Amino acid sequence: MAQLTLQEQQEVIRFLEVGKPLPDKYRFLLFDDKRAVELVWNGKSSEVTNVVLPFQTIEQVDEPRSEKDMSLQFNLFDLDDRGRQLKGWTNKLIWGDNKLILSSLKNGPIREEIENQGGLKLVYIDPPFDVGADFSMDIQVGEDSFIKKPNILEELAYRDTWGKGNDSFAVMIYERLLLMRDLLAEDASILVHVDWRVNSLMRLMMDEIYGSESYKNEIAWCYSGPSNTPSHLPRKHDSILFYTKGNPMFRSPRVAHKSGVHNTGQVFGGNSSSASEEKQKEMESKGKALEDWWLDIFTADRYRSELVGYPTQKPEKLLERIIEMTTEPEDLVADFFVGSGTTAAVAEKLGRRWITSDLGKFSIHTTRKRMITVQRELKASGQDYRAFEILNLGKYDRQHYIGTNLDLRQQDQVAQQSAREDEFTALILEAYKAEKAEGFKTFQGKKSGRLVAVGPVNVPVSRLFVEEVILECREKKITRVDILGFEFEMGLFPNVLDDARSKGIDISPKHIPREVFDKRAIEKNQVVFHDVAAIEVKTVLKGKTVAIELSDFSVFYSQDSVSDAESSLKDKSSKIVVEKGQIMKVSKDKTGIVTREQLTKKWTDWIDYWAVDFNFESKREIVRVKNIDTEEWEEIWTGDYVFENEWQTFRTKKERGLELRSVAIECAPGPRKIAVKVVDIFGNDTMTIVEIQVGGKK
């Protein structure tokens, strides 16, 4: 610290006495950190979250398991020897806020698993940087397509990022970059994909976090296309900022070229006739070292076979070059804004291990289908592949949102959670537009002549919960009830609803959407509680074999309304809306006549994907939590089981067909539970359980 003059000391005292901030010059005089250049913005902080939330396994995707006697696996990362699966590491696709995911990876038990794989050798991210971007999805319904609006949580998160321009983007990305730095191996690379909007900001930010000496390149990925830019030159390149930590592997790519001519056809390097013919042939056979401007990879829309309908999709060739340039086979690659899953797909094809995440549920579903397709392709060609699992922070994420402190002792957690849940229940009732109700054991509100019961935050609505609701209904002669829940026990419906109806009680179960975590969504009336979708299946038993046939699926979504569309449409235009579980195309001709066409002509039009686990309760879902007393990580059974995806069928851009009967699987005699998962065209999943007796009557 520099010695202050008497005048400077007096000046500091005067500023402190009146409570005013010191002039900037004192930052450099008083403190050792004398950065010549520093990036400053509103809300900047070098502090990062250190929350550790346990990861829950939503689904495990692998080829069918054998029918041998399998002991329960109590280690989340140990897998059975199955087919061509490579053992040891299970690739991870994680749904949720990447700030909480990164913090939980960095500070939680998975950190050890990552380090056992050699650490993260490459992070590639393509964060949202387009202020005016439209993240709506183009979803095919029969012969037409439907524009799915972003999830409200995604919209709000995106609005937070850009609500104050570059300041809010910097706040969002800075903390995440700090967390990524701490997760990287000591010899790793990080590449950040940006465009002109935040290029300069991100470059300064990366210099500050990783050090300017870690900067390797600003890669200009150039592309072409029609433009109408009367006030400036067309912006036809993105930048990929390439930084390293330590001394990672680097393989300089070589690209094919013709002597004297670039692979784009442009002449380069002077008169090629001065080189000997043999030298020219040698250069052409070896190729030339790639520069930091890439002209030979087109945008994703030029590779039609790759397109999955995701607006920010990047071409696989781009990720192939980046991954091969910075990693070896078996290295661990990560992407925390995975979007359509390009990083995961390319990493799998190139024999790398991977961790990816995204906030968008539709992104997770898109990536799941894409990775299953990659698995199938690798299997068909006789190549090895890895199983992957879909994780989220589940109930622990919800506990975090309502403020439960997981570092407290168990009894204190319970007391705090009870108080916070009362507050949160009031918030849910407000979002549902229900009034508070007093004097009931199981009901907290009422709406439009129906009583409302709010299920627990941290566990699914159970059969016991519903039975207690039914009991109070019978005691007090209540006939109309809504049950709101984040999750519902699998196999709960439709039997329990039929039982209630037989007693004269109309129960309507509804999902509590994650949007209730944001008060702004509630204030703007943007929170929609959807009825629980219903699945009906048939089991086809023949001796020791069993197959599952999907026989019905019902949903009850709404997005806009037919009447609003009719009143707002201009002549010679059309709009597709979702109303009460039906997708309708509303059109107005040049004379103003309005017509309606129902696009969801049959129940199968709602289904995008369905899968079967033929032996559902064979693998317990285990999470690792820290024991407060011993500071050790403990493995705890959540009480649920992992859905092991043994058979699946889904629609793609090319293949619109959907099988309605699974393959027949030979099963050991005796009772078993089969789980069926259906994912609708919006990316929402519903599960049901079928109990059967193999070798006997159902």
- Predicted confidence (pLDDT) at residue 238 exceeds the cutoff of 90: yes
Contacts of 511 (CB under 8 A, 6+ apart): 484, 485, 486, 529, 530, 531, 532
Average pLDDT in the 589-608 region?
89
More confident residue, 217 or 525: 217
More confident residue, 5 or 373: 373
Asked whether the bond before 226 is cis by omega within 30 degrees of 0, the reply is: no
Amino acid identity of residue 102, one-letter, is L
Instruction: Read off the pTM.
Output: 0.82
Average pLDDT in the 99-108 region?
94
346 close to 320: Cβ distance less than 8 angstroms: yes
Task: Among 22-36, 204-218, 473-487, name the one with the lowest average pLDDT.
Answer: 22-36
Confidence at residue 267, expressed as pLDDT on a 0 to 100 scale? 45
Average pLDDT in the 361-374 region?
91
420 close to 428: Cβ distance less than 8 angstroms: no
Q: Of all helices (H) and strands (E), which one includes residue 637? A: strand 633-641
User: In whole angstroms, what is the distance from residue 509 CA to residue 343 CA?
Assistant: 38
pLDDT classification of 543: cutoffs 50, 70, 90: confident
Q: Hey, is 464 helix, strand or coil?
A: helix
Query: Around Cβ 410, how many Cβ atoms within 10 Å?
Result: 8
Confidence at residue 81, expressed as pLDDT on a 0 to 100 scale? 40
- Predicted confidence (pLDDT) at residue 456 exceeds the cutoff of 80: yes
pLDDT classification of 167: cutoffs 50, 70, 90: confident
Amino acid identity of residue 296, one-letter, is D
Each domain of the chain, given as residue ranges in start order, spans: 56-64+83-227+234-253+290-392, 400-523, 534-694
pLDDT classification of 657: cutoffs 50, 70, 90: confident
- Predicted confidence (pLDDT) at residue 38 exceeds the cutoff of 60: yes
For the domain spanning 56-64+83-227+234-253+290-392, the CATH number is 3.40.50.150
Report the chain's mean pLDDT, rounded to a whole number: 83
Confidence at residue 323, expressed as pLDDT on a 0 to 100 scale? 98
Give residue for tokens 């799998």.
Answer: 348
Give the CA angle between residues 495, 500, 505 to the nearest 5°: 150
User: In whole angstroms, what is the distance from residue 645 CA to residue 62 CA?
Assistant: 6
Confidence at residue 331, expressed as pLDDT on a 0 to 100 scale? 97
For the domain spanning 400-523, the CATH number is 3.40.50
Print the SS3 string covering 366-408. Answer: HHHHHHHHHHHHHHHCCCCECCEEEEECHHHHHHHHHCCCCCC
More confident residue, 1 or 416: 416
| 56-64+83-227+234-253+290-392 and 400-523 in the same fold | yes
pLDDT in tens, 482-506: 999 988 887 677 778 888 989 999 9
Confidence at residue 163, expressed as pLDDT on a 0 to 100 scale? 53
